[in-house]
Structure 1
Amino acid sequence: MPDLATPLIAWYRDTARDLPWRRAGFGAWGVLVSEFMLQQTPVARVVPLLEAWLERWPTPADLAAAAPADAVRQWANLGYPRRALWLHRAAVEIRDRHAGVVPADVDALLALTGIGDYTARAVAVFAYGQRHAVVDTNTRRVLARAVDGRSQPGAPAKRDLAAMAAVLPADDADAAIVNAAAMELGALVCTARVPRCDACPLADACAWRAAGYPDTGDERRRQARYEGSDRQARGAVLRVLRDATSHAVAADGVIADWPDQRQRDRAIDSLIADGLVEASEGKLALPR
């Protein structure tokens, strides 16, 4: 395998974006919150909400002491609001199981609500400087092209961690940079639709480029349109409850003018099932 680490480290040191979670002293709690927020959400939307969140709840114990409803409100327009509930539950678990300190051990992190392989390793690497492979969608695309010569990665799999581990240098600090650099490269240069190969530090080592950029197919799962979707209806319901001046709102008045009443009812039922909304005596409210 060609050396990908050396050009990635040099490129990252020259071009990395100045993001809050990359700054010295940001802390494990900040890294954990940022990783929850960054799941399927653009960086530009995350940064201001992350800063507001950490100003309000600078420690896990601070969030754990708040009501789940406060977390859902603070989540605002980030999307996938179950992440707010999961983060609140994780904060409670960190307070109760780990004396309020975000654990550094990957297995302990995996035992927290809402944390999977990526988030656990990201916290261990970026907050605690450990040497683990960290793989997100952008990393998988970089590996697919540079190493495997494919235009797009296949479905996520456990082998992705082994593929990234093979690229990492032995030094812990350098390995952390390579993890971050691969994600940054996929986000900014080795993009899904229009890769900027002329600006890529891996151009000379890229198997896909050497093969003449073949179209090897695209197995990525397509996300359904947001407009007119159940997700849009769920978001509309939550927006009403977040903005309400009273704790509970009459259920029949929540997005009563939604064009598809069955979809409206389905959205409310699914939010109740997810624990994001509570229903009582004909009223709806965010969870207490």
Structure 2
Amino acid sequence: MPDLAAPLIEWYRENARDLPWRRAGFGAWGTLVSEFMLQQTPVNRVIPLLEAWLERWPTPADLAAAPPADAVRHWANLGYPRRALWLHRAAVEIRDRHDGVVPRDVDDLLALTGIGDYTARAVAVFAYGDRHPVVDTNTRRVLARAVGGRSQPGPAARRDLAEMTAILPASIPDAAVVNAAAMELGALVCTARAPRCEACPLSDRCAWRAAGYPDTGDTRVKQARYEGSDRQARGAVLRVLRDAPTHDAASAEVVPDWPDLIQRDRAIDSLVADGLIEAVDGRLRLPR
């Protein structure tokens, strides 16, 4: 395998964006919150809400002491609001199991609600400086092209962790930089639809470029359209309850003009099932 670490490190040091979670002293709790928020959400939407969140709840114990409804309400327009409940539950678990300190061990992190392979390793690497492979969607695309010669990555697989491990340098600090650099390269240069290969530090050793940029197909699961979806209906219901002065409303008054009332009712039922809202005596409310 060609050396990808050295050019990635050099490129990253010159081109990395100044993001809050990359600044010295940001802390493990801030890193964990940022990783929850960044799942399927653009950076520019996350930054202002992240800063407000950490100002309100600067430690896991602070969030754990708040009602779950506050977490859902302050999640605002980030989407996928189950993440807010998961983060609240994780905060409770950190308080109760780890004396209020975000754990460092990957297995301990994986045992927290809402945390998978990527987030656990991201916290261990970027907050605590340990050496692990950190693989997100952008990293997988860089690996697929530079190492595998494919135009797009396939479905997420454990193989990605092995491929990332293979390019990490032995130096622990340099390994952390390579993890961050691969993600940054995928976000800024090696993008899904319009890669800027002329600006890529790996262009002289990229297997996909050497093969003539073949279209090897895209087998990733496509996200369903948002407009008219159950996701949109769920968001509309939650928005009504977040904006209500007491965060509750009569069931019949929640988006009564929704075009498909069967879909609206299905959205309400699914929100109740997920624990994001509660149905009590003909009224809906955020969880307490």
Q: TM-score surpassing 0.5? A: yes
Gap regions ≥5 residues in structure 2: none
Is 1:145 equivalent to 2:142 in the alignment? Answer: no
- For 2:93, the equivalent position in structure 1 comes to 93
Is 1:77 equivalent to 2:77 in the alignment? Answer: yes
- For 1:248, the equivalent position in structure 2 comes to 248
Using the TM superposition, give the Cα deviation of residue 46 of structure 1 relative to its aligned residue in structure 2, in angstroms: 0.3
CA deviation map 1:137-181 (0-9, x unaligned): 100000000001000011101111001000100011000000000
What is the SS of the residue equivalent to 2:225?
coil
Gap regions ≥5 residues in structure 1: none
CA RMSD of aligned residues (A): 0.5
Write out the 4+ residue segments of structure 1 that deviate beyond 3 Å after TM superposition.
none
Where do 1:35-74 residues align within 5 Å? 35-74=35-74
In 1, distance between residues paired with 2:248 and 2:191?
44
CA deviation map 1:197-242 (0-9, x unaligned): 0000000010000110000111111111100000000000000000
- For 2:166, the equivalent position in structure 1 comes to 166
Amino acid in structure 2 at the alignment position of 1:282: G
In 2, distance between residues paired with 1:110 and 1:248?
34
- For 2:234, the equivalent position in structure 1 comes to 234
Q: How many residues align?
A: 288
In 2, distance between residues paired with 1:199 and 1:47?
27
In 1, distance between residues paired with 2:91 and 2:190?
35
CA deviation map 1:58-105 (0-9, x unaligned): 000000000000000000000000000000000000000000000000
What is the SS of the residue equivalent to 1:166?
helix
In 2, distance between residues paired with 1:195 and 1:156?
21
Alignment TM-score, normalising by the size of structure 2: 1.00
- For 2:281, the equivalent position in structure 1 comes to 281
- For 1:175, the equivalent position in structure 2 comes to 175
Is 1:155 equivalent to 2:152 in the alignment? Answer: no
- For 2:209, the equivalent position in structure 1 comes to 209
In 2, distance between residues paired with 1:215 and 1:20?
36
CA deviation map 1:102-148 (0-9, x unaligned): 00000000000000000000000000000000000100000000001
Using the TM superposition, give the Cα deviation of residue 246 of structure 1 relative to its aligned residue in structure 2, in angstroms: 1.9
Using the TM superposition, give the Cα deviation of residue 247 of structure 1 relative to its aligned residue in structure 2, in angstroms: 3.7
Using the TM superposition, give the Cα deviation of residue 248 of structure 1 relative to its aligned residue in structure 2, in angstroms: 2.1
- For 1:103, the equivalent position in structure 2 comes to 103
- For 1:128, the equivalent position in structure 2 comes to 128
Amino acid in structure 2 at the alignment position of 1:165: T
